[in-house]
Amino acid sequence: MKPLPTILCLLLFLEGHAQSSRQDSNYYALLKDSQKIYSNHLQLKCTNTADKYLELDNHRQIPIEQVHRFHSRSGVFVTVPGSAGTDIYRVEREGPKISVYSRLIFDPAHQNDSGYTPTQYYYYRKTGQEKMQIVTYPGLQNAMADKPASLRELHLARSEFKLGIGITVASLFVEAFGLYESFRNRSDQTELKPPPLGQPLPPLPSPSHTFSPLVIVGAGGLAGGLVLIFGAHRHELKALDIYNR
């Protein structure tokens, strides 16, 4: 996955409510001074000057710069110093050696548009590192180079993805040609000349004679290609699990 040339502002809106008592709540804010605060209400808000803060019970406010990580109904989030303040990432897959995160990027020019969906990017970070790295095949390959078993799973993921793309593209051509053949056969048969007067009408052509089998072949290949494309992700997850053992 490659980032777009322009990454604009980040705005995450999180809202939570407790399911038990204060100390048993699943929602908390872990501060950089190691203080852990539980709350029945946890919400990320922004001031008019775009400063981010967490609002907890009794309207208690904590600047996001003081927060190391927090947990809300939407998941677990970590904070990382960025070029324009503090960036917030959602924990997607956490491990003792390498973890995967995601981040939503909002475009202010289209944020209020109907049906607008923010762009989601995936990042990884090895234990002991502070900077996030965008998820790419070469990046993961370098990060897990010291674990051959993980590299094998990454190679399988890349091979399956490329094979799936190839099969999908080829199947689309076969499907298109099959539909063209079916349409042409049907047109040819509908243009049959009527028999001379006094002679019986010829039997109607069978639908099987107008339907090209390439349509079925193309559809089957297209389904198989999509299965390979979307199934390649399981090898990436397995590579991460192996590396974190």
Q: Are residues 212 and 109 in the same domain?
A: no
Q: Are residues 32 and 108 in the same domain?
A: yes
Q: How many domains does the chain have?
A: 2
Task: Please report whether residue 70 resides in a domain.
Answer: yes
pTM of the model: 0.68
Q: Which tokens go with 87? A: 């960036």
pLDDT in tens, 120-175: 899 999 998 888 999 999 999 999 999 999 999 999 999 999 999 999 999 999 99
Task: Please report whether residue 224 resides in a domain.
Answer: yes
Domain around 118: 15-135
CB neighbourhood size of 202 (10 A): 10
Q: Are residues 128 and 23 in the same domain?
A: yes
Rounded Cα–Cα distance for residues 77 and 31 (Å): 12
Task: Please report whether residue 79 resides in a domain.
Answer: yes
pLDDT in tens, 49-86: 778 899 998 889 999 999 999 998 888 999 998 877 88
Task: Please report whether residue 93 resides in a domain.
Answer: yes
Task: Please report whether residue 195 resides in a domain.
Answer: no
Rounded Cα–Cα distance for residues 28 and 16 (Å): 10
Rounded Cα–Cα distance for residues 56 and 59 (Å): 6
Task: Please report whether residue 225 resides in a domain.
Answer: yes
Task: Please report whether residue 197 resides in a domain.
Answer: no
Q: Are residues 167 and 226 in the same domain?
A: yes
Task: Please report whether residue 142 resides in a domain.
Answer: no
Q: Are residues 130 and 31 in the same domain?
A: yes
CB of 29 closer than 8 Å to CB of 57? no
Q: Are residues 44 and 78 in the same domain?
A: yes
